[in-house]
Chain A
Amino acid sequence: MKIKPVNDTVQNQTKIRTNARTKCQISKEERYYTASPMRLIIMRFLKHKLAIIGFVILSLFYLSAVFASFLSLNDPEEYFDDYTFSPPQFPRFIDSEGLSIRPFYYALEKIRDPETLQMKYTFNTDKRLYIEFFKSGYRYELFGFIDTDIHLMGGQDGAPLFIFGTDSLGRDLFSRSIYATRISLTIGLVGVFITFILGCLFGGISGYYGGWVDIVIQRIIEFLMSIPMLPLWMALSAALPRQWSQLQLYFAITIILAIASWTGLARVVRGKLISLRSEDYVTAAVLSGVSDARIIVKHLLPGFTSYLIVSVTLSIPAMILGETALSFLGLGLQAPTVSWGVLLSGAQNIKSIALYPWTMIPGLFVILAVLAFNFVGDGLRDAADPYKEG
């Protein structure tokens, strides 16, 4: 007597659950047809595996830019005079004694090569030094107001730990690369902001008004597109006054980099405006007496915001590469500022590849960031195409 109702409820529950599942399936299909354009774009974007990977990488990069001081091991400006050009101490998990769950490293020891009499580094493999987490190190201010000295990682018993090795002056390359993320990745964003304004302004004027304004702007764009950009960038950044502060230089460089990229965006805006301007619904709006500004903002802009986002995302990597190249040549950002390009400029010759290959590690950051932006941009482009089968 008592068991039956229990059984009943179980059956009922399963029934309800199956019901719910079919309902869910229907609504899933329905959801596709009734989804808003934004929702569709997100759904298609999530299907693009590379784009997701790129997105995750970029998120990690920007997080590490925010938490650079927490993630760094040593003060990026501190000179470890005894450890110039020390090789990287990558965290290890395995050695002759077996596996270790805690990452460890070996202490650096300096010896003099008996033949060449050069100073050389060796690892003391007899003793494992464990990487300690949430350890106190140099003092810093998290987010600019929380005074603390806790860092994610630290070496055991004060034995120095240089995960990526050190540079010619004995500065910790890992900490410097992390700090450089701030400059290198924001320069793209600030640059894109300028690009966006210039592109929308000139593209908008050109496309909406047409006539001789259009012709003049188009000729200017064609001209800018046919100039070799690097020499122009070089000349313009060489012309920046040398007494300018780091902040002034930073913004000047972003503006210089934006000169190259607004042209592409302006063309997209113009093309889209011209094709949308003659659509029936715009004519209808005009006949209903809607103002110019309202037509542009309310009826035309939503038609190509997705294209704008794609075009903007794809122009960021070019800026990162541009900044890297300029700083590498010594014409971009200057020494107290750390960007990936500035770090790489310390590794200019074949000698650094041959003897200190770890000084190239900031280059890997550049490659990773540029790839990630490209993947995300590609994913967005596919996702934003409304005629693509979803």
Chain B
Amino acid sequence: MGKYIVKRLALMLGLVIITSFLSFVIIELPPGDYLSLYIRQLQLGGEVVDEARIESLRVQFGYGQPFIVRYGKWITGILFRGDFGFSLQWRESVSELILSRLPYTILLSICAIIFTYIVAIPIGIYSATHQYSLSDYLATIFGFIGLAVPSFLLAMFLMYTLFIYFGVPAGGLFSDQFRDAPWSIYRLWDLLKHLIVPIIVTGLAGTAGNIRILRATMLDELRKDYVETARVKGLSETRLILKYPLRVALNPMWSTIGYLLPAIVSGATIVEVVLNLPTVGPLLLASLRSQDMYLAGSIMFILTVLTLVGTFISDIVLVISDPRIRYE
């Protein structure tokens, strides 16, 4: 086990390095840069921008050096000082900007995963045990809708209907009176109310796939002899299903968390933008639009690293939960 974890960790470290490089390439990719945008802004504001000023800005923003040197500076800053650079648009350090928003993105993603499983597992079991029944077809249709409706449309639609009929707040993460208030039970309750729509929308993306996986593996397991044996021995149907076939059938679900996680983060990004949440998604979009590339690249980097860590954890969980999987 220890050897396996070390091996996986080494692999993950390699991937993190590649990710950081890729993120930095993306930072460098766009033609034009924030500097020229900034100079244009200054000129529009009526300031005289001469060569010396441009040169000093260039040095200040770190544009003068070759590509690899800037990458080296950026990555060592992250590794040794936790410094992701400086956001040119916000005039704030990237780390602080992201840190104030990242927890909500992580919270949303975790809740969405939990939602996915809470919805997918019972429906998957039910449609496997009641194959070809009306509810099985309904579950399939529900799954297909989750697959086909663009998440931003679903987000707007849910936001509107829940607001009109149930008074669930639309958009944002906090009501006005709680935005800057200290943490309390009421503030938490307010946050939860605001999280309902984003969790449902983000979670539904992975639900459809998981229902189908669980249904298929459950059907395979239910046909096996040990199920019949248990039934003959007089085990009640509920106990039987929960105790044997379900445990086997759940394994593929844990192992697909590696693919679920990127999907959730992707889904969360667009939902956050539509619902205007103070999270990482809108920050990424804004930074891409204004070519504030240190911010954009850092967000890409952090999101990918988080996904890699999540996948790593899920692999470890899978090895622990299924003794048949040996550490190759």
- Distance of A317 Cα from B259 Cα, bound (Å): 17
Question: For residue B145, which residues in chain A have a CB less than 8 angstroms away from its CB?
Answer: 367
Q: Indicate if A170 sits at the interface (CB-CB under 8 A).
A: no
| Given A226-B258, A350-B171, residue A374 in contact with residue B152 (CB < 8 A) | no
| Given A225-B262, A238-B30, residue A231 in contact with residue B148 (CB < 8 A) | no
Whether the pair A234, B262 counts as a contact (CB closer than 8 A) is no
Give the interface centre of A227, A317, A366 by most chain B CB atoms within 10 Å. A227
Whether the pair A227, B289 counts as a contact (CB closer than 8 A) is no
| Given A226-B262, A239-B26, A241-B31, residue A234 in contact with residue B150 (CB < 8 A) | no
Q: Which of B1-58 contact A (CB under 8 A)?
A: 15, 18-19, 26, 29-31
Indicate which residue in B153, B159, B160, B262 contacts A228 across the interface (CB closer than 8 Å).
B262
- Distance of A339 Cα from B269 Cα, bound (Å): 22
Whether the pair A367, B148 counts as a contact (CB closer than 8 A) is yes
Whether the pair A228, B148 counts as a contact (CB closer than 8 A) is no
B281-309 interface bits toward A, Cβ cutoff 8 Å, 1 = contact, 0 = none? 00011001101000011011001100110
Q: Indicate if B121 sits at the interface (CB-CB under 8 A).
A: no
Q: Indicate if A321 sits at the interface (CB-CB under 8 A).
A: yes
Interface locus among A16-24, A109-117, A139-147, A322-330: A322-330
B141-176 interface bits toward A, Cβ cutoff 8 Å, 1 = contact, 0 = none? 000110111111100110110010000001100000
- Distance of A374 Cα from B145 Cα, bound (Å): 11
User: A226 → chain B, closest Cβ, in Å?
Assistant: 6
Whether the pair B308, A366 counts as a contact (CB closer than 8 A) is no
- Distance of A31 Cα from B166 Cα, bound (Å): 60
- Distance of A371 Cα from B149 Cα, bound (Å): 9
Q: Indicate if B97 sits at the interface (CB-CB under 8 A).
A: no
Whether the pair A231, B266 counts as a contact (CB closer than 8 A) is yes
Q: Indicate if B204 sits at the interface (CB-CB under 8 A).
A: no
Q: Indicate if B270 sits at the interface (CB-CB under 8 A).
A: yes
Indicate which residue in B159, B262, B308 contacts A350 across the interface (CB closer than 8 Å).
B159
Q: Indicate if A376 sits at the interface (CB-CB under 8 A).
A: no
- Distance of A172 Cα from B262 Cα, bound (Å): 38
Question: For residue A350, which residues in chain B have a CB less than 8 angstroms away from its CB?
Answer: 156, 159-160, 163, 170-171
| 18 A-B contacts (beta carbon < 8 Å) | A225-B259, A226-B308, A228-B261, A228-B262, A228-B307, A230-B266, A230-B267, A231-B299, A234-B269, A234-B285, A234-B288, A238-B288, A325-B152, A349-B156, A350-B159, A360-B157, A366-B153, A367-B153
| Given A329-B285, A353-B160, residue A235 in contact with residue B296 (CB < 8 A) | yes
| Given A325-B152, A350-B160, A371-B144, residue A226 in contact with residue B170 (CB < 8 A) | no
Size class of the B contact interface (CB-based, 8 Å) = 35 or more
Secondary structure type dominating chain B contacts: helix
User: A110 → chain B, closest Cβ, in Å?
Assistant: 26
Q: Which of B180-206 contact A (CB under 8 A)?
A: none
Not counting A226-B258, A230-B270, A234-B284, a sample of 7 additional A-B residue pairs whose C-beta atoms are within 8 angstroms of each other reads A223-B18, A227-B262, A228-B262, A231-B266, A238-B289, A241-B30, A367-B148
- Distance of A212 Cα from B77 Cα, bound (Å): 34
The 5 lowest CB-CB distance pairs between A and B, nearest first, are A230-B266, A238-B288, A228-B265, A239-B29, A370-B148
Q: Indicate if A354 sits at the interface (CB-CB under 8 A).
A: yes
A221-247 interface bits toward B, Cβ cutoff 8 Å, 1 = contact, 0 = none? 001011111111011101101000000
Indicate which residue in A223, A236, A328, A367 contacts B26 across the interface (CB closer than 8 Å).
A236
Q: Indicate if A363 sits at the interface (CB-CB under 8 A).
A: yes
Q: Indicate if B210 sits at the interface (CB-CB under 8 A).
A: no
Q: Indicate if A178 sits at the interface (CB-CB under 8 A).
A: no
User: B10 → chain A, closest Cβ, in Å?
Assistant: 12
- Distance of A349 Cα from B150 Cα, bound (Å): 15
Nearest opposing residue in chain B for A347, CB measure: B156
Question: For residue A236, which residues in chain B have a CB less than 8 angstroms away from its CB?
Answer: 26, 29
User: A223 → chain B, closest Cβ, in Å?
Assistant: 6
Question: For residue B26, which residues in chain A have a CB less than 8 angstroms away from its CB?
Answer: 235-236, 239
User: A86 → chain B, closest Cβ, in Å?
Assistant: 21
Q: Indicate if A344 sits at the interface (CB-CB under 8 A).
A: yes
Question: For residue A223, which residues in chain B have a CB less than 8 angstroms away from its CB?
Answer: 15, 18-19
- Distance of A348 Cα from B263 Cα, bound (Å): 22
Q: Indicate if B108 sits at the interface (CB-CB under 8 A).
A: no
- Distance of A77 Cα from B157 Cα, bound (Å): 28
Question: For residue B144, which residues in chain A have a CB less than 8 angstroms away from its CB?
Answer: 371, 374
- Distance of A329 Cα from B266 Cα, bound (Å): 13
Give the interface centre of A234, A344, A367 by most chain B CB atoms within 10 Å. A234
User: B193 → chain A, closest Cβ, in Å?
Assistant: 17
Q: Indicate if A331 sits at the interface (CB-CB under 8 A).
A: yes
User: B231 → chain A, closest Cβ, in Å?
Assistant: 26
Nearest opposing residue in chain B for A264, CB measure: B259
Whether the pair A228, B259 counts as a contact (CB closer than 8 A) is no
Nearest opposing residue in chain B for A225, CB measure: B259
Indicate which residue in B19, B147, B288 contacts A331 across the interface (CB closer than 8 Å).
B288
User: A341 → chain B, closest Cβ, in Å?
Assistant: 8
Whether the pair A367, B262 counts as a contact (CB closer than 8 A) is no
Q: Indicate if B311 sits at the interface (CB-CB under 8 A).
A: yes
- Distance of A239 Cα from B171 Cα, bound (Å): 29
Question: For residue B303, which residues in chain A have a CB less than 8 angstroms away from its CB?
Answer: 228, 231
Question: For residue A349, which residues in chain B have a CB less than 8 angstroms away from its CB?
Answer: 156
Question: For residue B211, which residues in chain A have a CB less than 8 angstroms away from its CB?
Answer: none
| Given A226-B308, A239-B30, residue A232 in contact with residue B300 (CB < 8 A) | yes
| Given A239-B30, A325-B150, A328-B150, residue A227 in contact with residue B304 (CB < 8 A) | yes
